[in-house]
Chain A
Amino acid sequence: MSCQNVWKVYGDNPDHFFSNGSHSAKDPSALSKDISNQGHIVANADVSFDVHTGEIFVIMGLSGSGKSTIVRCLSRLIKPTAGQIFLDEENLLEKSEKELIDIRRHKMGMVFQNFGLLPHLNVIENIAFPLKLQGLKEKERIKKAERVIELVGLTGRENNFIKELSGGQQQRVGIARSLAVEPDVWFLDEPFSALDPLIRKQMQDEFLRIQSIQKKSVVFITHDFQEALRIADRIALMRDGQIVQIGEPVDLILSPKDNYVREFTKDVPWESVLRASDIIDKGKKISETAEKVSFDMPVAKMLHLLSKKPTGVVVIDHIGKKIGMATAQSFVAALATAEN
């Protein structure tokens, strides 16, 4: 899935800013300012990114940054004012309403912040609802729904009504429903923001577990930077409708693009974000005898080792190839770059 130069502008006549094609020549920030000055509201300005297959792509931003709008553009709940959105090489903006319904029925699943469950249906009926809309027979629906119920750990709750469930359980229903059609792309719009912190952490683990089985292409929206760090393969940080920086968590921390990004990363406990491969001392020769650690080991787990081995440890990649040395000094050096 990818989106290119997506704009969403609200107002009386948003289209006329883009109708003659001249907008692409302008600098997005300048154009955005221009549009706001003419009494329109810019929700997304020139947003572009790709979501790779099987990747967890987190869009992170504070409220009003346009992150909810962009995910609604991707899922085509709203129509972008300009730009292109591709799913499987097909431009979603050229699809008719009917084709979109078909795409949503088979390729997309979405989880909502306030769950969006239907109060008049029970758990299994809610989960089977998308299947019912496709016109599947009841037996088949139930069979498929049972499978995802098991996946999210709600077995035994099938006949409960939504009101009887806790917030965490309700969101499990929401997750199960979004997975019932076996989508390729999985949108999650602040799925855990309405939950208590402890439950939130549980649900994050649960989400990671499910994703490790399902391996969907995930677009995950959150305003919680810690949450983004925990689950993201890559993060896009948004502000004022524009993307400030895209990268792996460690990129944002080690090389923040500007002070805005730095503000977020300031209080992050680095040792839990940095991994062995991030603190390699490039100038140091690889020792043959030193102890080996995997490239993705969190630095927090290495601290003990580093303190005992002043000469450092060897970092190996996923096929066992040695890629460099990490020492206590290189760790401090990495921290120092992050600090600045």
Chain B
Amino acid sequence: MRSVILKNKTLSWIGIILITLIFLIFKEEWSWSTKYPKEFIIPFSDWINFLMEKFVSKFGWFFLNISWVLSLPINAAQWLLHSLPWIVVIFLVTLAAYLSAGIRLALFSLCATFYMVLIGYWEESMNTLSLVIISVPMAVLIGFGLGVWGYFSKRAEKIIMPILDIFQTVPTFAYLLPILLLFGFGTVVGLIASILYSFPPMVRNTILGLKRVPNNIIESAIMSGADPKQLFWQAMLPSCKKQILLGINQSTMAALSMVIIAAIIGGTADIGWEVLYYIRKAEVGQSLVVGVVIALMAIIIDRITSGFAQKSDQEKKDHRPSKNIKISYLSFALAGSVILFIFARFFEVLDDWPYDLSVWLASHINDLFDTFVETFRAEIKLIKNYTLFFIMLPTKIGLQQAVSPFTWGFQLEMVHKIFYFGSLLMLSLWLLKNKRNNVFVFTLLLMIFIYVGLTQMPWPPLLIIYSFFAWQIGGHKLALGTFFGLGFIVVVGMWPEAMISVYLCGIAVVFCFITGTSLGVWAAHSSIVSAIVRPINDTLQTIPLFVILIPFVMLFKIGDFTALLAIIIYAIVPSIRYAEHGIRNLPSEVIEASNMMGSTRMQLLFLVKIPLAMPVIMLGLNQTIMYGIAMLVIAALIGTNGLEQIVFIGLTDGNMGKGLIAGISMAIIAMIVDRITKTISEKRSEALGLAIK
């Protein structure tokens, strides 16, 4: 019975491969299959533009009023932060750092904030900070409220969850489009975008935290006579305080990253705008100097908030500071601020850092990078060309076009083709004979893909292949979702750009998954590697995406290759993390049992550990893809050609319809991939009977 199904599955795959071949043979005749005809494109983007125009002309005043109201607290925060001397702000930040995580973070915060003063970007930093300060409490309140609602009402949860999915998968730039049209230019757009982007983690953490409150705590509180309000505020909420604080931490980080991204529309004179300005002017050294401010700010905010989150856990071990101590900290902060404020009145330098005392690092950095690029010119070119010729181009336009005397050193002749197809066919037949049916199908598909190239493939067979794959993983629901989702991208005429996005992201993901997982496995076995990798991962995850781009632009100039590297460096983090976590948290009795059966270290790794950790590793793949897509969006800044570029152009040209449709298309791809990888992970863990922690 089983073998019949197996055969049928393989047979249908062979059928699909045949259809693909037919489409490839008639590629010239059926031009609609490679290039979706213009006259059949459904003009969603025009409709959206039309509707939006009508809407704005009718209700625009309403949103402009909201915009005005929202600008009040921002202006107040900006006024406050500007009128305080820098020395006071630094004092308060350092004190907060000390209280949350001790002397080391305090010293780091002191140096980092002073760096902002030193390079002459204090005011811009404070503008960014004031946006974060105003948006985070609002996002946290909204998120907490929705989270509580979602916890108590199943129906509400059913509505809220998909909305969160959309908010978190729609590319960040695409967010800004409708907000821009509704609320006009300026600071408020950044505020609203960052609220919308940063409340979902708060909702998720609130729901998760409340769900994880142990049942016996709830029951014991009820039996202690708690009414519903007391139960919630005095028993449940304190029990999940840590998760809630974690939510605040994640919301804050999201808000900061969105504030930076929103700088792209300008109007705030904040730090993100400065970075962009210098990137566009190709003054990369200066953009790095300013970019470091963002990174430092992110690290400080992250460590302080997560420090408080962890502290809430430790309080139970040490004894809590009594109310008196809390009051004395507060009065110390107040007194210190007042004294420093008065000091700054007498010493101008403590209030406004003079221009001529500022340190100009940019030229040094430029020199450094120039020398580096100069010295290793040949090597850099080699790396770039090899990757381009042997990996990127074949994936993108296929061997049939990528192989040329210029790139590979020879022309693709009939002999080569026969050799290529012949050897691969032999391999696949051998696989079939050995009943490795899945690998057989995979090899055949890969052979065709690499020969033709992803962007040169006709869309009908690709649609069929993706949907059939989704069907095998997650049944007919997932298959239908995939089919209609991708079909949407076809009929709005964005398929070619979508495939360019997929190609760039795909290469990065494959590379990240292989290297990242290997690194993670290594880190799981060596505490030294783990200790080296962890801080690097932490930093990469806190630094806003923009800043990661800068050094790569300096070394490799703009283009696909630079974008690829930036995606890889950012998206490799989850692969490493999840692999290490998965391997480290295996049930020890299984490892012991395998050792007792006499398995070697390699056997243990490949026959026991990796298969058992597979569900977690697959979650890492899922996250790698999501991170890759997030970075891809930002990479539009340095000139890629995929969907992300359309979103970006839509933003700069104010063509909302097109940008939004491209954004939705990216979200569709992200969601499909997300569901597929998650389903694989869930199925594996179910089959293994393991719960993923």
Return the contact of A134 from the options B220, B222, B225, B239 (Cβ within 8 A): B225
Most interface-central of A110, A113, A119, A178 (chain B CB within 10 A):
A119
Residue of A nearest to B219 (CB): A77
The answer to whether the Cβ of B216 comes within 8 Å of any Cβ in the partner chain is: yes
The answer to whether the Cβ of B184 comes within 8 Å of any Cβ in the partner chain is: no
B630 to chain A, nearest CB (A): 36
Most interface-central of B219, B224, B227 (chain A CB within 10 A):
B224
Residues on A with beta carbons closer than 8 Å to the beta carbon of B9: none
Residues on A with beta carbons closer than 8 Å to the beta carbon of B227: 98, 101, 133
Interface segment, one of B230-238, B286-294, B389-397: B230-238
Beyond A113-B216, A116-B216, A118-B238, is A104–B222 a contact (Cβ under 8 Å)? Answer: yes
Interchain Cβ contacts under 8 Å between A and B, 7 examples:
A104-B222, A105-B224, A110-B220, A112-B216, A114-B214, A118-B221, A162-B316
State the A residues within 8 Å of B (CB). 72, 75, 77, 98, 101-102, 104-106, 108-110, 112-121, 129-130, 132-134, 159, 161-164, 174, 177-178, 181, 187
Residues on B with beta carbons closer than 8 Å to the beta carbon of A120: 238-239, 241, 315-316
Return the contact of A130 from the options B224, B315, B316 (Cβ within 8 A): B224
Q: Are B225 and A181 in contact (CB under 8 A)?
A: yes
Top 4 nearest A-B pairs (CB, nearest first) are: A116-B220, A105-B225, A116-B216, A130-B224
The answer to whether the Cβ of B5 comes within 8 Å of any Cβ in the partner chain is: no
Interface positions, chain B 212-258, Cβ under 8 Å from A, are 214, 216-217, 219-227, 230, 234-235, 238-239, 241
B359 to chain A, nearest CB (A): 47
Beyond A112-B216, A163-B316, is A178–B223 a contact (Cβ under 8 Å)? Answer: yes
Residues on A with beta carbons closer than 8 Å to the beta carbon of B315: 120
Residues on B with beta carbons closer than 8 Å to the beta carbon of A163: 316-317
The distance in angstroms between the C-alpha atoms of A177 and B216, with both chains bound, is 14
The distance in angstroms between the C-alpha atoms of A8 and B119, with both chains bound, is 71
The answer to whether the Cβ of B601 comes within 8 Å of any Cβ in the partner chain is: no
The distance in angstroms between the C-alpha atoms of A129 and B238, with both chains bound, is 13
Q: Are A114 and B224 in contact (CB under 8 A)?
A: no
Residues on A with beta carbons closer than 8 Å to the beta carbon of B217: 116-118
B521 to chain A, nearest CB (A): 34
Beyond A120-B238, A120-B239, is A133–B223 a contact (Cβ under 8 Å)? Answer: no
Q: Are A133 and B319 in contact (CB under 8 A)?
A: no
Q: Interface SS of chain A: helix, strand, loop or mixed? A: mixed
Q: Are B220 and A133 in contact (CB under 8 A)?
A: no
Q: Are A133 and B230 in contact (CB under 8 A)?
A: yes
Q: Are A104 and B216 in contact (CB under 8 A)?
A: no
B691 to chain A, nearest CB (A): 18
Residues on A with beta carbons closer than 8 Å to the beta carbon of B224: 104-105, 129-130, 133, 177, 181
B446 to chain A, nearest CB (A): 47
B156 to chain A, nearest CB (A): 21
Residues on B with beta carbons closer than 8 Å to the beta carbon of A109: 223
A308 to chain B, nearest CB (A): 53
B390 to chain A, nearest CB (A): 57
The distance in angstroms between the C-alpha atoms of A144 and B604, with both chains bound, is 59
B221 to chain A, nearest CB (A): 8
The distance in angstroms between the C-alpha atoms of A115 and B219, with both chains bound, is 10
Interface positions, chain B 310-341, Cβ under 8 Å from A, are 315-317, 319
Beyond A112-B220, A163-B316, is A119–B239 a contact (Cβ under 8 Å)? Answer: yes
Given contacts A129-B221, A177-B220, 12 further A-B contacts (CB under 8 A): A77-B222, A104-B223, A104-B224, A105-B224, A105-B225, A109-B223, A113-B216, A115-B216, A115-B220, A116-B220, A133-B225, A159-B319
Q: Are B316 and A161 in contact (CB under 8 A)?
A: yes
Residue of B nearest to A164 (CB): B317
Residue of A nearest to B228 (CB): A97
Residue of B nearest to A181 (CB): B225
The distance in angstroms between the C-alpha atoms of A134 and B227, with both chains bound, is 10
Residues on A with beta carbons closer than 8 Å to the beta carbon of B317: 161, 163-164
The distance in angstroms between the C-alpha atoms of A164 and B319, with both chains bound, is 11
Residue of A nearest to B224 (CB): A130
Return the contact of B214 from the options A75, A116, A159, A181 (Cβ within 8 A): A116
Residues on B with beta carbons closer than 8 Å to the beta carbon of A98: 227
